[in-house]
Every structure is written in C-alpha cells, then in structure tokens.
Chain A
C-alpha cells in the first residue's frame, strides 16, 4: 500500500491518463448522424466522416459498374450517394437507410458501407453489415 497523499497523486495521474486515452481515441471514431437537410444547408458538416440517414428515394437506385448510386431524402432535401459494392438485398427503395462516409467536393456523398436500417422490431437488423474489419 502507498501512503494517502501518494495514493491520491497516483489516482490523479491514472485518471488523467485515462482521460487522455479516451479523448484521443474518440478523436476520429465519434461519427455524427446527419440528415440530407443538414448536409444541404451546410455541406461542411459532412466533410468529416459522418453517418447519413434518410429514405432511399424510390426510383433513384442504379448501378454504375461496381458502384451503387442512389439518393437519400429527408424533409424535402436529397443527397446523392455513391457506394462501392452492392448493398444487401435487405436494402430497398422507399426504406430508411443509414450510410457511412464523407461528402466529396462535388456534392456527392461517398459511402463505404450501409450501417443499418432503422429497425422497429427487437432483434439484430438484417441490414446491419458493418465492414468486416470493424468487427471483432
């Protein structure tokens, strides 16, 4: 055991180190959810990595080689999304979808994965298919 003042100092150092670890780890792993409306109003919010949530506009889904293109809409605003690879069959037009990526300077949102559909039931959402490297 260590004497009381020493112990307090140890605890303080420990807490400070933990705080530093947490804040530095959060630095680029905390992603915000944005809606197409927010992105349209202020494109700078989506220059960093964000999650974009909205409804897949019916009729907007198309393929461009290995890239899937669609529009996400929310509150009258739409954002075009380009995503590498094919979204799962569980991803459909007219449904809510969340994609993760960043907004390019061309005003197109470049997504690298579909996060999850807004499930309203208990249970793991079928569309939840994070990148395998994210998974443990």
Chain B
C-alpha cells in the first residue's frame, strides 16, 4: 500500500518536473504568467516530500514489503537510526536528494514576478530535477514490492547506526551540494536572459554563500564523525568520496571571492567557478554512486553509473555551449595594481582551482589507469601531502595579506603587515627551536600566526563595511585554526598498538592504559566485546571502555573507540582484537594534540559564511541607500 503510493508520488514528481521545465520555458521565452510554472515546481516539491514521507512511514512501520525497508530496515534498530536509514543506502538517499533539490527550486521560484534571469534559471533547475526524478523512478525505485514479505530486515550498515552525526552529516552535505545548483543555473541563464542576465552574480552570491556555509558544516561534521567512529583516529584520508566533497567546496570558495564586487569584474571566472562547482557535485555523485572508485564510503555498484556519467557530460556540454561565447568585458574590468584586492582575488582563485585540479587528478586517475594499463590503481595520501598541502599553506598565507588590501598606499599596507609578519616569523622560530617538525608543519604554524594576528589588527581598525569584514575575519580565522589543528595533530600525534595481557600497561607519551578485563555480552542481537581499562594521564585516572561490536545480520564488526577530548589534546583508545580466552587484547592508544581546533575552525568558517549571508541579505533590502561605491559609473564613456 505504502509502496504503491510511493511509486505514484515518484511518477507525479517526474510529471511535475517535466511540466515545470515547459512552463518555465514559456515564462522565460514569452513572458507568460509565472503562476502555473510556480505551481508545477511546488508540485514537484510536494511529490518529493511525499515520497520521503512515505518511505519514512514504511521504515517506521516496518513494512518489509517495500524493497528499501526489507534491505535497510530492521525491528531491532532504534527509532532515531530508523529515521536516518532513509539516507543509509542509495535509493532512499536519492529521495532526500530530490527533496532538497526541489526545495531549492521552490525557493528560487518564490517570486511572484520573476525576471527572465530567474525564469531561465528555473528551466535549468527543473531539467536537473527531471533527470533525478527519472533516475529515482526508473533506475533506483526504493518502493518496489518484495515477495515474499520478509519478517525482519538487517537494519542499516552498523557503522551508520553508531553515531548521532548520521542524522546531521548527510542532510547538510546534500544541502550544500544542491545549493550549488542555483549559481550554476543562474550562470547558464545569464547569457540567455539579456539585460536581466547582467546582474546574475549579485543574485547568485547569497545562494552560493548559503550552499557553501552548509557544505562547510557538512564536511566538518563528516570529519568529526569519521574521527569518532572509524577507530583509527583519522578525520581525513584523501579518500575519493571525501575528495568529492572537497572539490566543490574549493571552487565555491573561489567563487565567493571572485564575486565579492558583485560581478563588476572577472565575469569569466565567475561563470566558470559557478558552473564548475555544480559540475563537480555531479561528478562527485557519479564517483560515489556508480561504484567506479574503490572507496571506504562508496555506495554499492549500481546501474546508475552510466546514467550519472551521462548527466555529468550533458551538464558539461550545456555549460560550455551556453557560457562559452565571448561576452563583452564588464565596464569595471581593467588593470589592477599589483598589491590590490583584485589581484589578491585572482591569485586566490588560481590557487584554489589549482588545488582542486590536483585533487581531481588524484581522485580520477585510478579510473583511467585501468583501461590504459590494465591494472587498477590507487593514489596514496602521500600524493596529496606533496601537492595539495603546500598549496593550501600558500593560500593561508594569502589570507593573511587581506588586511593590507584595504588601504590605498603601499607604505601603509606594508606597515600593516609588519606586526603579523613578525609574529608569524617568531612563531616559526620558537616552534622550530622547541621541536623539529617538517617544513610544511612549521610553515602552517607560522602562516596561522600571521593570519590570526593580521585579523586582530583588522577587526580593531574602523572600516566602512564592518559586517563583511567580520564575516571574512571569522572564516579566515577558522581556516587558520584548522591549519593549526591539522599540523599539530599530524606533527605531534603519537600512537602505539600492542597486544597486552590483563593487568599489563600500554604507554604513549605521558598517558598509560592498563587492561583490567575483557568481557563479551549479547546486546539486541549483536555481540559486543568490551575492554575495561584504566586510563592515566595528567595526574588523573579514569575508566575507559572501548568496544568491538559484531552484527551477525550484516556480518560486519565495528570498533567503538573511547575518546576523551580536552582543550589541548584528545586521548583515543581503540580495541582492535581480543584473544579467544579473553586473557589479552590488542589495543591502540593515540594521543592527538590540538585536534579539537579542527572542529572549532570548521564551525568558525561556517559562522563566517552565515554572517556574510546575513550581511548580504541586510544590505540588499534598502536598495536606495546603497553606499556610493557600489554604484556603477553609469553612462561614463569607456
């Protein structure tokens, strides 16, 4: 019953999306009334919401006649993880994807009298919606009936029902990804929309900000989640699927910088970056959902691969054809002095795109070596550490130059950089003398000190537009904190792994752990092995109980590390294996300094993005009282 309704809602969604394409085309071409088109878009949103709601209902009601529930539901699964299991496997996650996509479409279509720019953009969004509805309805229908109806299901992958971030990370990530569809659609619509199209960057910027802030939060939560769950204490492994989330983030970051002047210059960059971000989202979807790359996060191999690859190619083609034509340069374009915001923005964009290109090559290369050389391959983290990481440090240094870019004359600019420069060099000297980390770590610490000091002087100085300065300062400070956290935990982290008998002690730095006992228990059909240990460090002793859980329904075991976080460092204890007799266990003890700064930095970057969004929204309302410097010198002959 629920299954039939679900399938019907998918069909309704597909029909609405197709109608939306046609009706929005009518609005754009003929200037027809937008009401029917908006209704069609709302219909698609309603259908997507109904499909999600019905699948959730089926999951909660344990209706195992629905294929997705039979494959991913289970009576033993707690309610929270039953709700989140909607996005624990591909077909269901596609419904959430559709819901968010339609949500963005409906938001973009909310104006009663949209201009041609928005109408064309809605055509693009509706085409994308149609493609994904078609994918869901024809190739990945979660509502197929199952015969005979099983009595119970295996539940979602045990790793996905171990941490509350499961309810947060995927929706945030999807929202971040799909928000990029709006700048993409506007960039494609701009050349078609004539006069209205000239303003596309200013229309796109708030959308890009919202999507970028959400994506940042999603990536940060994902890193924290993998740190807390995977048991090896890492938050980033340069895995293809992780890279897929980083790529659009990089290009969107570049877009946020090139679009700072509201599209008066760098038209080509703006177009390329706005299109590129969404194309990378599509490429990431292809990589994640086609089984094309071997990844610890990848979905099952599936028939969606060729279809998704087709989408990517279609989107690349559309973007190239529509935006590839030469357009006259914007009147604001011209020469910029070497030490100026415009040059800095250009260098920033070039660097970010280079990082993206390097990461993309590393991610996609394994796909290409198989047809070329006949052997599957993988690119190790060393590749990224030698390419992307140094470039990232240079980017951080560039962020530190920002305070100097707001003043006109070179002498003042250099004077402003003096103090941060001295602090940065002093940091390098002090850390280099106290310990001997590698050059990359040392430079990262120095650059972070340079940026943070520069920001302090910047926010204390009086500025014309304080909101925007604060937003940038927050995001840049967050970036510096992430750099400190990454460099610190990489350089000063210590770990040891050994098999210890009951009563024996494993020691790392000044932390020691003594194995007290090992016991097995049965917990809701899952075998759980717990090691009770005494963790001593900093003059205190606590009990820590890392565990191993075995789920017979899925035939998988997951580790549950015991993590205690502090402001300076985390101690991270994992149970890796236990002896049959329970007399000994293999433990891994790690001390990870400064790792908390990574999550704090991620939060700051997100807050920076949201602040910029709030500032943009506020400055947009009183259109008449805009500061004079935003006005185009209208009518001035070039």
Chain A residues within CB distance 8 Å of chain B: 1, 14, 18, 21-22, 24-26, 28-34, 38, 45, 51, 85-90, 116, 119-126, 128-130, 132, 134-136
Contacts and interface: CB of A to CB of B under 8 A. Distances in A.
Contact of B375 (A24, A34, A125): A34
Contact of A88 (B377, B499, B559): B559
Contact of A31 (B234, B336, B377): B377
A135 B380 contact: no
B287 to A, nearest CB: 14
A18 B378 CA distance: 20
5 contacts: A85-B497, A123-B88, A123-B160, A132-B495, A135-B236
Interface string B212-244: 000000000000001001111111111000000
B554 interface: yes
A125 B369 contact: no
Contacts of B350: 14
B300 interface: yes
Contact of A18 (B300, B358, B550): B358
Nearest to B301: A120
Given A26-B383, A29-B379, A32-B375, A122 B299 contact: yes
A83 to B, nearest CB: 13
Contacts, number: 151
A22 B365 CA distance: 11
A120 B379 contact: no
Nearest to A116: B296
Contact of B297 (A25, A28, A51, A124): A124
A14 to B, nearest CB: 7
Interface in B490-515: 490, 493, 495, 497, 499
Contact of A25 (B383, B556, B586): B383
A32 B236 contact: no
A123 B157 contact: yes
A22 B377 CA distance: 16
A51 B376 CA distance: 9
B381 A124 contact: no
Given A123-B297, A132-B495, A21 B234 contact: no
B357 interface: yes
Contacts of A123: 88, 157, 159-160, 297
Contact of A86 (B159, B334, B361, B499): B499
Contacts of A122: 88-90, 157, 160, 297-300
